[in-house]
Structure 1
Amino acid sequence: MLIMLIAACSTKKDAFINRNWHALNTKYNTLYNGNIAFEKGREELNSNYRDDFWEVLPVERLEVTEEIKLDSEDNNPNFIIAEEKATKAIQKHSMDIKDEERNPQTDEAFLLLGKARYFDQRYIPALESFNYILRKYAQSDKLNEARIWREKTNMRLDNPELAIKNLKNLFKYDVLKDQEYADANAVLAQAYLNLGAADTSIQKLKIAQGYTKKKAEKGRYLFIIGQLYNQLGFKDSANYAYDKVIALNRQSPRVYMINAHLKKIQNTAITNGNKEELLEYLTDLEEDRENRPFLDKVFHEIGQYHLALGSDSLALAYYNKSLRATETDKKLNAKNYENLAEYNFDKNKYKASGAYYDSVLTNLTENTKKYRAIKKKFDNLEDVIKYEDIVFKADSVIVLYEMSPEERVTYFETHIAELKRKAEEAALKEEKRTTQGIAAFGDTKAGKKNKGKFYFYNITSLGYGKNEFKTRWGERELEDDWRWSNKAKATRSEATGELVAEVDPSQEPTTEEKYSLDFYMDAIPTDEGVIDSLRTERNFANYQLGLIYKEKFKENMLAADKLELVLASNPEERLILPSKYNLYKIYEESGSPLATTVKQDIIKNHSDSRYAEILLNPQAVLSDSSDSPDKKYTELYKLFQNQEFLNVITKSQEYINRFTGDPIVPKFEMLKANAIGRLRGFEPFKEALNYVALTYPNNPEGKKAEQMVAEQLPKLAVKEFSPETGSKGTGNWKVVFPFKISDNESALKLKKRLEESIKDLKYKNYISKDIYTLEDQYVVVHGFKSKDFALGYAELLKNNKDYRIKDENFVILSSNYKIIQVHKNIDEYKSQILTPKP
């Protein structure tokens, strides 16, 4: 018996007992375990995969990444096990005798091997397995299945045309079982879908859903047919497909049925005749207990329904319910937040709108068209929020300032009374919630066990005490003097439970201050200068809002309101003319007769302005661009390159005032900041850059300034000079000839003579004339490799009869020259480096 068993183990002997022994071992041992692992892997994929029902579903439920894998590293362990079992079956039980496989289970092992690799997204090795079956096992009953899997793999390898060609040949030359016919048509449908042929894909899916024996596949195919009909604009045909999905009911996954219901509703226009029926339809979906996992989408659709009918409050309530019900569907979250953002914007609630748009961005994929569109809205809205805040705060202070003392007292007493009322309501609500919670716990088994215990061991009493403490004192760290009134209340992260921030008591009034009349009365400014500053700031903010509403949001009525407020509030001179001109453009666009009035006002009262020229002769002004902002900027930039920094600063300010509101103003501000830095040094440059960054945060120049403040200023802040000890120091050295600005003629003559000397001596150095301050300038010879070389050149100029240049000069290391130019500290350099130590 043992001898027979040993003989049967041989894979080289083509005997009945050998073939059957290896076939049985392959099928009921190795492949059995491999198939179990494979099915576990598929179940895991299905449980982790989430379909995106906002897009046309893929025919096969498989999350595909962009990369093409070649090995099994970091892949699903179940598929690795399946592959190992298939490989073991092939290695130990394959009976390749005279180039013919005698084990009838080996083709199944290769099929399992290919499928495991396919689901691990190692398509090239998978293709090798399927091709091996087709080449080696001509009589196998798995040939058709292998061909279908091969074409699925070709399609994944971005060869849909090849997949279509091979599957058509399969239909032409082979007889397929119903499920095989369904699978082949499903692969064809996806291939045509990849090629953009939606109509052909529909036909193939219809065949696939008709032949498949798997109800889950049938529901999916029908749902995709509905989506494709929607994509082609045939809503009635789409709804017919969705009705078939719904008719499957529990035979198919419920997710298809729910989404089919919602797609049908989206395809139905709301009319007076059907609105009650649609509401009843949606209510039934909401109240069905089996639909609880899908309430996020149901709530969103109910919100859409109410919004379409103008029931804004109900729509907002359902959008918020949808947000609370969903966690994983980022696109649904984005749609809910976008609807809330647009509603709040339409109601001029800009802060809320901005917060919602910010939430939209967190739920969108970056660098997509949708993300960029929302980001642009959000950036524009940030400016609106900033300027509306300025207006609100300034108006609030100004209104209080203009009240009589008696009116202020009445106003603040009312405010304090309201604060106390709200605090009492909140305390009662919290006490009721805490008491009910503790009472409910006390009635439980655990609560009854704690009755009668010492306070710190009684969970009920301890819980009540903790709640009372938090209500009264907030989150406090364990430390001495925790009750002091100047201690900040810490906030705790809901995600981690850690203390993440503390409220500065100087920013957050204490309870005593909140209820103190004197606290509010003392906070009102009494200096007229402060109020004037607030008025100026408010007018500029209203002007900016007018331009934003006009140019970016096309809200002409809002823009006109803001600009009219500017003109009615005794604005600065620089705001009057551009406000009038922009009002004229708004009135002209809307056909208002006020356009003529404003036009005549500009021509009469501002006759020498560019705006008056445009109104009187627009064609002539447009054809002559010599006075345009862009032209002025180009001219000014040339002055900057010529180191006429004082001229740049004064003219920049002139143009900033002249072109207030024009998009080019931040460029003038940036040019001015750079000129200030070159002429006055580091600290004024830092101040000017910060002004640009804070005043124009969402403008390219503002962002560039912010980047320079963060990255370049720390490098420029270094003031310590590098040592220049010894005469043999290597590096990049310069010879510097100081001149007064008033002696520019002499500086230019020297520069010319130095250039001639460099040419005569055949050196590779170059010469520059650098402005240092308003009074001083330097003629500089750059590019000496050592200090000795630089000193030798200076000595040569002094003593050589061809030059005889005896002007004062000094040799300096390039890094130190940069420091004196940035910080304007030549005196420090001379005292520290040039003056010998005693």
Structure 2
Amino acid sequence: MKKYILLALGSAVFLACSPRKDGYLNRKYQDFTTFYNVLFNGEEALNAELKQRDKSYRDNFHAPYIKLLTYEEQISSAQMENLGVSDNENGLPFRGSDNENNQTAVLNPTRLSILEIAELKAQKAIDKHSMMFKGEEKNKTIFDAYLVLAKARLFQNKPLEALDALNTVQKIYKKDKRLSLAKVYEAYTYGKMKDYYRADETFRELKENKKLKKSEKKLLSIFYSEMLLNAGKKEEAVTELESAYKLNKNKKLRSRIAFLRGQILANLGKNEEARESFVTAYKNARNFEFEVKSQVEIAKTFNGKDDDYEGAKEYLEKISKKGTYASRKNEFYYALGLMAKKAGKKEEAQEFFQKSIKEKVSDPQVRGLAYYEIGKKFFEDNDYLSAGVYYDSAYAAMNYAPAKEELKSLTENIKDISKNYYLIKKNDSILKLTKMSNDERIAFFNKHIEGIKAKEAKEELERKKAEKESKNRVETVDFALLGNTDNNNSFLDFNGSKGFYFANQANISKGEKEFKQIWGNRALTDNWRTSTKMNSIEDLKNEALGITAAPDPRRYEPDFYIEKIPTKTEEILALKKDRDTASLGLGRMYENFFSNTSLATKTLYDLVDSKTDEETELQALYQIFSMNYEKNPSAAERAKQLILEKYPYTSYAEFVKNPKKADFTTSDSEVEKIYTQAFALYSEEKFDDSKKLIEETLQKYPKDVLVPKFILLNAFNTGKTAGKEIMILQLEQLMLNYAKTPEGIKAKEMLQYLKSDIKVEQFDDNGNPISPKNEPAFAPQNVNSSSTNPERIQQNNSKQRNLQEMQQDDPLQPKDLKPKK
């Protein structure tokens, strides 16, 4: 009986504490059970995930800016693997009650991430323990559940769903003191959604709230400064970071705040202030990496004019030799190189960059940047091939994707130039040999063979020296780990010489040579066997010059080389053609890739002076003129005169007479009247008068919007007076200069017709063909056959239909002279 009484009493108490009743006991009971039954596990899961993210976070100091919060983004599985973190789907094991884990497994057959578990727990707490009465939540702990729900969604990159939870909590808790915290996360969420206007508006309202707790102010300052930076408001971000630094006393966070502030100030060109900020970051740094990077950034803010270079140099050289800093010498030498460069000491800067690449790698990106700076010096001196070698090394070493991507196109362009350069060099050498007598060839190759012998003797001496050093060196090897040493094919017994493979420099050299011969240059990445082969500048050079890795046994015989010299005329001409085509391409590349007009002009003039064929010469002269007629008229003048002298009846000659000098935007009313007069003269068949009026107008108004219209009308005048060929040249010039105008489009259509084999035949009333002299194949007005012969009409029906289609909306008509907007 007593048992039943206790059961009934317990049931009564349970029912009395139901979330469906708004009583004091109900509220207290639900408040307690919400947290300890479900929400506690959700909060623990969230905190565990954020702690793990913070622990595994690695800063990217080569990005424009570091992040203040180290738990915002989850690192990838590959990154976790590299950092030695277990690559498990949940990150960290979640420890809840077996009953709850079993329920989760039933609800979700697939394993959940920790944040998904936190979200699930928070949602479960809301669903089971919410006490809504008249639109107001009576269970105070549900507020915490909504915050956990919002955070879990935010850090899963689901800002819209997080905003929904934050809006709900503000709606059902109208007078709660914790609403300001929800507002802080709301503003942060707007920033995540890139709705910077609303985020800024919300943050400003919160800053005016004098009742904010200190913890809320700290959080607000961090969130607000990052939002301002993402919105591009750098000056305001600097001011807010100053406030964040004052509010937050945690030294690790203070170091990050100062470092980020320094990066922004450096980006704004305020080097003095940036330096002070980096010094503050260094003083507050709580890890070795931050100390080193702060010192490097301090060096980057060096001002070559006002700062003490010798003092800064002495300080960095001294610190680079201290204790653990010695392991980062390559980074300090790179920083010293940048300082020397800013101080105007270019040679000294190159020495420091060279020292940097010889030291042990501590940061692959810094190694790549050191290679890049060396290559940049060659690039500025127009030595693109040497620059390309270092750019190749920089590209291979760098691990920051945006910087690597920027360098990729540059290295590809230099490789294209290298192909042409070495092809020219090779063909020039062969052409030079074809002009030699047999005795001269023998003497030339004997000298070449002596050079090969001296080089190989030097290499053999170095190999023997390395082999001797390796034999004298005592190596300690754990033979038990390396398996059976009696096996002649074992790892220790490479080529029959006992000892560790990598201790023998000769073996390494041979191995590298054989590897390159089979695989070529490969990037140091996973799946390198199946990755795309990376051709270096050296590979391209060897390919162009015909150099192979394996030496030929006949390489010491002059006849071995003489036999390969072409003797047939067509072969020699083909070599010359290939050489000239490559030279033309090289000149274009210098201009298009690097905007190096002077080098491009010199290369193309050298091509012209080498007596190339007419087609290549004309192309080279056109390129020279088009590159220089505005920037360097004196360099363009020679090309212009050569085109006019050698190729007067080409579209290129027409172009150099009247190149397009500016965009046309306005039309003078006087010009419109003149065009009407010119068109009237054309209509009256006064072609010479119309032509003269047009030429005078073009000289007087060279930049008027109607210039293309005048040129098209003048082409018709020319067709009537000088014939089809000259008309085609003028239409080609019009199409070349004004391709996107209605006149340019019409000229293109007409050229397709004029250059075809179609001929317009006209017949008299008796069916006899009329062949007027100098009549162009195309006229500005509709061309209708005067023939009444049905057979003739039928034969020319399709031809006339094509002409009529082309002549619709004739651009010559003066009815629409205003330019279209």
Task: State yes or no: 1:277 paired with 2:311.
Answer: yes
Task: State yes or no: 1:390 paired with 2:399.
Answer: no
CA distance in 1, matches of 2:640, 2:151: 81
CA distance in 1, matches of 2:213, 2:228: 22
CA distance in 1, matches of 2:112, 2:472: 49
Distance 1:255 1:435, change over 3 A: same
Matches within 5 A, 1:682-693: none
**Residue in 1 that maps onto 2:154:** 118
**Residue in 2 that maps onto 1:521:** 562
For residue 236 of structure 1, give the secondary structure of its aligned residue in structure 2: helix
Task: Decide which of 207, 230, 234 is 2:266's aligned counterpart.
Answer: 230
CA distance in 2, matches of 1:134, 1:57: 33
1:415 to partner: Cα distance? 3.4
**Residue in 2 that maps onto 1:831:** none
Task: State yes or no: 1:242 paired with 2:294.
Answer: no
What are the superposed Cα offsets for residues 81-125 of structure 1, whole Å, 9 maximum, x if unpaired?
111111222233344467665544222111111111111222222
Task: Decide which of 317, 341, 364 is 2:354's aligned counterpart.
Answer: 317
1:351 to partner: Cα distance? 3.6
For residue 125 of structure 2, give the secondary structure of its aligned residue in structure 1: helix
CA distance in 2, matches of 1:354, 1:396: 23
Distance 1:372 1:235, change over 3 A: closer
**Residue in 2 that maps onto 1:342:** 376
Matches within 5 A, 1:346-745: 346-354=380-388, 375=409, 381=414, 384-403=417-436, 404-421=440-457, 423-424=459-460, 427-428=463-464, 440=475, 442=477, 445-446=480-481, 450-451=484-485, 453-455=486-488, 459-461=491-493, 471=510, 495=525, 496=527, 498=529, 508=548, 511-527=552-568, 530-531=571-572, 533-535=574-576, 537-539=578-580, 541-542=582-583, 545=586, 549=590, 553=594, 555=596, 558=599, 562=603, 565-566=606-607, 569-572=610-613, 575=617, 623=699
1:581 to partner: Cα distance? 11
1:222 to partner: Cα distance? 2.3
**Residue in 2 that maps onto 1:206:** 242
CA distance in 1, matches of 2:495, 2:552: 25
Give the gaps of 5 or more residues in structure 1: 66-71, 477-487, 660-669, 680-742, 759-764, 772-838
CA distance in 2, matches of 1:93, 1:432: 81
CA distance in 1, matches of 2:318, 2:9: 70
1:586 to partner: Cα distance? 8.1
Q: Which amino acid aligns with 1:440?
A: E
Q: Is the 8 A contact 2:196 2:231 kept in 1?
A: yes
CA distance in 2, matches of 1:317, 1:264: 21
CA distance in 1, matches of 2:589, 2:27: 83
What are the superposed Cα offsets for residues 311-338 of structure 1, whole Å, 9 maximum, x if unpaired?
36425436746996545x6xx7885565
Q: Which amino acid aligns with 2:481?
A: A
Q: Which amino acid aligns with 1:395?
A: D
Aligned length: 651
1:144 to partner: Cα distance? 2.7
CA distance in 1, matches of 2:312, 2:187: 44
Q: Which amino acid aligns with 1:55?
A: P
CA distance in 2, matches of 1:74, 1:433: 60
For residue 460 of structure 1, give the secondary structure of its aligned residue in structure 2: coil
Q: Which amino acid aligns with 2:296?
A: L
**Residue in 2 that maps onto 1:34:** 42
CA distance in 2, matches of 1:160, 1:216: 28
Q: Is the 8 A contact 1:202 1:228 kept in 2?
A: yes
**Residue in 1 that maps onto 2:64:** 55
1:247 to partner: Cα distance? 1.7
Give the gaps of 5 or more residues in structure 2: 1-5, 75-107, 502-506, 662-694, 737-747, 758-768, 772-784, 803-821
CA distance in 2, matches of 1:58, 1:443: 46
Distance 1:623 1:59, change over 3 A: farther
CA distance in 2, matches of 1:31, 1:530: 85
For residue 242 of structure 1, give the secondary structure of its aligned residue in structure 2: helix
**Residue in 2 that maps onto 1:739:** none
TM-score (ref. length: structure 2): 0.61
Distance 1:497 1:537, change over 3 A: closer
Task: State yes or no: 1:132 paired with 2:173.
Answer: no
1:80 to partner: Cα distance? 0.7
CA distance in 2, matches of 1:539, 1:273: 52
What are the superposed Cα offsets for residues 344-373 of structure 1, whole Å, 9 maximum, x if unpaired?
33344434545666788998999x999789
For residue 55 of structure 1, give the secondary structure of its aligned residue in structure 2: coil
Task: State yes or no: 1:260 paired with 2:294.
Answer: yes
1:470 to partner: Cα distance? 10
**Identity over the aligned pairs, expressed in percent?**
20
1:397 to partner: Cα distance? 1.6
Q: Which amino acid aligns with 1:89?
A: A
Distance 1:754 1:53, change over 3 A: farther
For residue 312 of structure 2, give the secondary structure of its aligned residue in structure 1: helix
What are the superposed Cα offsets for residues 170-211 of structure 1, whole Å, 9 maximum, x if unpaired?
444452222211222333334444554433333332222211
CA distance in 2, matches of 1:624, 1:535: 46
Distance 1:518 1:316, change over 3 A: farther
What are the superposed Cα offsets for residues 603-646 of structure 1, whole Å, 9 maximum, x if unpaired?
9987979599969xx999994999xxx99xx99xx99xx9xxxx
Distance 1:425 1:166, change over 3 A: same
Q: Is the 8 A contact 2:587 2:599 kept in 1?
A: yes
CA distance in 2, matches of 1:15, 1:160: 43
Q: Which amino acid aligns with 1:415?
A: G
Q: Is the 8 A contact 1:338 1:356 kept in 2?
A: yes
Q: Which amino acid aligns with 2:354?
A: A
CA RMSD of aligned residues (A): 6.3
1:146 to partner: Cα distance? 1.7
1:281 to partner: Cα distance? 3.7
Q: Is the 8 A contact 2:337 2:350 kept in 1?
A: no
Distance 1:30 1:294, change over 3 A: farther
Distance 1:88 1:321, change over 3 A: farther
TM-score (ref. length: structure 1): 0.60
Q: Which amino acid aligns with 1:112?
A: V
Task: Decide which of 11, 14, 37 is 2:19's aligned counterpart.
Answer: 11
Q: Is the 8 A contact 2:330 2:357 kept in 1?
A: no
Q: Is the 8 A contact 1:408 1:521 kept in 2?
A: no
Q: Which amino acid aligns with 1:38?
A: L
Distance 1:269 1:86, change over 3 A: same
Distance 1:442 1:97, change over 3 A: same
CA distance in 2, matches of 1:154, 1:604: 66
Q: Which amino acid aligns with 1:86?
A: A
